[in-house]
Amino acid sequence: MSDEWQKAIDALTDLTSFINYCIETNESEWAVDVVRTKGNKQNCLFGHLVNWHHGNNYQGKCTEIWDSFEEMWSSTFYVYDVNDGKNEKYQQATPKERCIAYLKDLWLGLEMPIWKYYEIQTERARAEMAAEK
């Protein structure tokens, strides 16, 4: 594993730093329907994730932090719905408020992290296959 991947995993082990980063952003820095706007003036949660990890002016690849978040915490598709106000559970007034509420729920264990969801689904599939034999 490269150093960049290990740094991303280490950074995401504890979500409080990223949550605090999001809390400190301005409402005007949040966007819906895009990851990043031109000039990086507005972002969805994943754009803010990249800025938090790499810095606001970063223009390179962001695979390690993005993929690590998806493997450890939540899928892109779920996050997009939260960010854009399409998730029924997170109907706060702004994308910032919705995403912070979701991140806090993940960190507090009120939302299931993606790895746990896949673990449960794998066990169910194995049980169903075993029952068919």
When pLDDT is cut at 50, 70 and 90, the band that residue 114 belongs to is confident
pLDDT surpassing 70 at residue 1: no
Say what the pLDDT of residue 63 is. 81
Helix (H) or strand (E) holding 79: helix 76-83
How many structural domains comprise the chain? 1
Domain of residue 94, residue span: 3-132
Can you give 98-121 as a three-state secondary structure string? HHHHHHHHHHHCCCCCHHHHHHHH
pLDDT tens for 41-95 read: 899 999 999 999 988 877 777 788 999 999 999 999 999 999 999 999 999 999 9
